[in-house]
Amino acid sequence: MTVITVINFASINAEVYRIPLYKTYTSVETSLTETIRHLRHRRSGSGRTDITLIYKDLQYYGTIEIGTPPQEFKILFDTSSSDLWVPSKDCDVSQPACYGVTFDRPYHDGRVYGNLSIDNVRIGGLNVTSQMFGEVFKFTTSFWDNVQCDGVLGMSYGEDSVFQNMIDQHVVSQPIFSVYLNRNYEDSHFGGKLLLGATNPSHYVNEFKYVNVNTQKRYWQFEINRIEVKNFGLCAEGCQAIVNMGFSKIGGPPRDIATIQEQIGVVDRVDCNEISNLPPINFVIGGKKFRLTGKDYIVKVTEGLCILAFEDNPFNINGIKWILGDVFIRRYYTVFDMGNNRLGFALARH
């Protein structure tokens, strides 16, 4: 089990909230339908709450609290969506917190259905009031076959998103959040940091290199100038991409993924002892090269078993060709700057 820390800055002079995150390797034991809960509603207290992030099956999760009195949910933080939704046994439309409005959203290869509610949400010791969220009673996506969590907290653009409400309610000092993932989690109890409202200079090298995002798409969507592997070039005329901390690998067009596999000589599995011999892959973003080595794009699953962390892109929306997930974030400390509508990348300090 690997411990991570999340820090939240409620104001410029605010106390720092240190929240442990955990990284484990157990298999999926429960599904969404096995973790259904019923939300209760009353006035929220003012106490501070720690959240615990868990790494299972190549995904990072965290716990948040919803409702009054608060009830805990295990959540996947996802920068490719803006909704907050959790499972619910039912939603009584006669209650003030339940809108009685149908909730119907696409997610991965399916949809989630439920009702909209409003209540308080607590994350990392910070309280967000009157937060709209979905109480889901049905889903048709295979995404849940391979993950273990109750729901999703979207960190993308959206007027009703949790982070946008944190900004509007002056809960965070700056309209930014940043992510650090420890690459050496196997040798340390420290797994990484999620910071709301700030960056942590102790976890990155030099200055950030920024790229503007297309806010009209409502995602953290930007342009990759090109991708270089050996002497071969991909995405030569530019292609659309997103950074997604809810995605464990790097996703791309099937033809391009096949080209990468051919150029590096790996289809899926690779001898862990051969990682240092694999060629680098460069992502050119905003005119700057961001290099991934074999140590970055090969993931060790078990002792002796290593896999290639590139796969076909399942996210075929708004012309998005590439998804830069946790594999990229582990190499490059990432800041999501909602105030200036940009993403910043700096070499992570490990």
- Residue-wise pLDDT for 78-93, tens only, equals 898 899 988 776 654 4
pLDDT at position 56 is 54
- Residue-wise pLDDT for 188-217, tens only, equals 545 677 888 989 899 999 999 999 998 877
Residue 51: count other Cβ atoms within 10 Å of its Cβ: 25
pLDDT at position 303 is 78
pLDDT at 348 over 50: yes
The percent of the chain in helix, strand and coil, each rounded to the nearest 5, is 15, 45, 40
Topology agreement, domain 17-29+56-199 and domain 201-348 = yes
Tokens coding 264: 């590096």
What b/e string do you get for 80-118 counting C-beta neighbours within 10 Å, with b at 16 or more?
A: bbbbbbbbbeebeeeeebbbeeebebebbeeebebbbbe
pLDDT at 34 over 70: no
pLDDT at 350 over 60: yes
Main-chain dihedrals φ then ψ at residue 4, nearest 5 degrees: -120, 160
- Residue-wise pLDDT for 147-190, tens only, equals 667 888 999 998 889 999 999 999 998 999 999 887 765 655 45
58-62 mean pLDDT:
69
- The pTM of the full predicted model, rounded to 2 decimals, is 0.81
Main-chain dihedrals φ then ψ at residue 294, nearest 5 degrees: -55, -35
49 or 71: which carries more pLDDT confidence?
A: 71
328 or 303: which carries more pLDDT confidence?
A: 328
Question: What CATH homologous superfamily does 201-348 map to?
Answer: Acid Proteases (2.40.70.10)
With CA atoms as reference, report the closest residue to 124 among 227, 37, 5: 5
* Burial category of 275 from C-beta neighbours within 10 Å (exposed 0-12, middle 13-18, buried 19 and up): middle
Residue 194, SS3 per DSSP? strand
Quickly state the pLDDT bin for 142 (edges 50, 70, 90).
low
pLDDT at position 261 is 96
With CA atoms as reference, report the closest residue to 127 among 199, 198, 51, 21: 51
pLDDT at position 302 is 78
Contact 200, 192 (CB under 8 A): no
pLDDT at 52 over 50: no
Quickly state the pLDDT bin for 260 (edges 50, 70, 90).
very high
What whole-number percentage of the chain has pLDDT above 70? 71
Contact 174, 11 (CB under 8 A): no
The region, left, alpha or beta by phi > 0 then psi within -120 to 50, assigned to residue 258 is alpha
List all residues 6 or more positions away from 116 whose beta carbon is below 8 Å from its beta carbon: 98, 99, 101, 102, 103, 132, 133, 134, 135
- Residue-wise pLDDT for 273-297, tens only, equals 999 999 999 999 999 999 999 999 9
pLDDT at position 93 is 44
pLDDT at 240 over 90: yes
Contact 139, 64 (CB under 8 A): no
pLDDT at position 279 is 97
Type and span of the H or E element at 73: strand 71-78
Mean pLDDT score across all residues of the chain: 78
Which single residue is written with the structure tokens 């000092």?
Answer: 173
143-149 mean pLDDT:
64
pLDDT at 146 over 90: no
Which single residue is written with the structure tokens 């939240």?
Answer: 8
pLDDT at position 217 is 75
Rounded to whole angstroms, the Cα distance separating 265 from 261 reads: 6
The region, left, alpha or beta by phi > 0 then psi within -120 to 50, assigned to residue 76 is beta
CATH of 17-29+56-199, one of 2.160.10.10, 3.90.1150.110, 2.40.70.10, 3.50.50.60: 2.40.70.10
Question: Domain spans of the chain?
Answer: 17-29+56-199, 201-348
